[in-house]
Amino acid sequence: MPTLYVRDVPSELYERLRREAASARRSLGAETIELLRRSLSPSYGVSLEQLLQDADRIRAQHSLPPGSPTAAELIRDDRER
């Protein structure tokens, strides 16, 4: 299997990659391969399972404060205006 070395990665990009790898419980190398695989494959090739996993991961990273309105409540309020 070929090896890829990347030099001069900006610090902020490296930290984002490191955090994403940690949240996905993958090594830095495994996360990099996954990102390359996803970015180079056609978007229509993404499975529903992968989309749901990504949505769960994003949802876990961005929690709402207690008492925040739901999406349905926001839509209802907007329609009533």
Does residue 68 lie within any of the structural domains?
Answer: no
Q: Is residue 29 part of a domain?
A: yes
pTM to 2 decimals?
Answer: 0.51
Residue 49 counted as domain residue: no
**Separation of alpha carbons 32 and 53, rounded Å:** 17
- Per-residue model confidence (pLDDT) at position 23: 92
Residue-wise DSSP of 23-59: HTT--HHHHHHHHHHHHHS-GGG--HHHHHHHHHHHH
Number of domains in the chain: 1
* Domain of 22, in residue numbers: 1-43
Mean pLDDT of 61-74: 88
- Cβ contacts of residue 27 below 8 Å, gap of 6+? 21
pLDDT of residue 43: 66
Is the model's pLDDT at 59 over the cut of 80? yes
Tokens 């399972």 locate to 49
| Residue range 29-55, pLDDT digits in tens | 999 999 998 888 766 667 788 888 988
